[in-house]
Structure 1
């Protein structure tokens, strides 16, 4: 008998044992009624009370649809403070979106409208996205950057004021 034939025989026996064991557990009768168990002790039910039918249910997404995103409160408040000359059209503090109408800044002649998106709870420049439009199209990138800088500076000031309390 060669090493290759012994290896093939052992592999075949292992495969037969694995395949035959797949249906074996379903033929065992148990005296425990799992429907009467609390969810934390019932392996057929996940944490949210959803019934698991197959192993593939472990890979499904049972996340709560009502979960909200976290936004940085200082950036949020600073955005409203800096853009206070613009009329607010829509605000969603749970997703971090502020949409304004057209307004003219103090001492300026051109009307702007802004959409601010706060994407992260960190007080960081990556957490803020600002889109400015004029009546003739997108605003100058330097203007957008100046507004972003003003919002971030004000957010840092608000944070410092809050830590002093």
Structure 2
């Protein structure tokens, strides 16, 4: 074997030893860093007198992002499914209001009209308000409660179908 091959082998061995020594097996503690907003505010306002609002606030994330006009999609779709026998007059998904015209349920004799308000993104009974009218006045509380229960049951079914996917 030539001397150059021996020196090359020794050089590679030394390089590998040096490189393996660079990585330390000792675990280091996590480094606490402030959020980017605090760092930027510290640079822009070193004295700590940050104004209440700036033009740059439109680029910052908001706590209630996506909550404006948000309704629970399961309750919304369940309301439309359950009351599909009523003709829809207007819908507003931003405020969560569905207004229907008069319609007769299958197998029923009375005509009903409904106004549904979905006021929360949570799948909760408190998120749903139903106002039911007949041609002669307000519907009975038991009928309204039965419609609300049917809508909430259908909303749970829709959610269960989504979770299986």
Measured against the shorter chain, the TM-score band is: 0.5 to 0.7
With over 3 angstroms needed to count, the CA separation of the structure-2 counterparts of 1:81 and 1:47, relative to structure 1, is same
- Give the unaligned 5+ runs of structure 1: 1-39, 51-66
The size of the alignment, in residue pairs, is 113
- Deviations 1:22-67, CA, capped at 9 Å, x for gaps: xxxxxxxxxxxxxxxxxx63767543539xxxxxxxxxxxxxxxx7
- Deviations 1:115-153, CA, capped at 9 Å, x for gaps: 000011111111100000001110010000000000000
Q: CA RMSD in A?
A: 2.3
1:49 corresponds to 2:61: no
**Structure 1 residue 94: deviation in Å?**
1.0
TM-score (structure 1 length as normaliser): 0.62
State the distance in 1 between where 2:86 and 2:51 align.
51
- Give the unaligned 5+ runs of structure 2: 1-40, 57-66
Bigger radius of gyration? 2
State the distance in 1 between where 2:119 and 2:54 align.
28
Query: Which structure 2 residues correspond to residues 20-99 of structure 1 after superposition, within 5 A?
Result: 41=44, 45-49=51-55, 68-99=68-99
Query: Which structure 2 residues correspond to residues 81-160 of structure 1 after superposition, within 5 A?
Result: 81-160=81-160
Tell me the secondary structure at the aligned position of residue 120 of structure 2.
coil
With over 3 angstroms needed to count, the CA separation of the structure-2 counterparts of 1:155 and 1:48, relative to structure 1, is farther
Tell me the secondary structure at the aligned position of residue 109 of structure 1.
coil
State the distance in 1 between where 2:78 and 2:131 align.
16
Contact kept? 2:71, 2:120, Cα under 8 Å:
yes
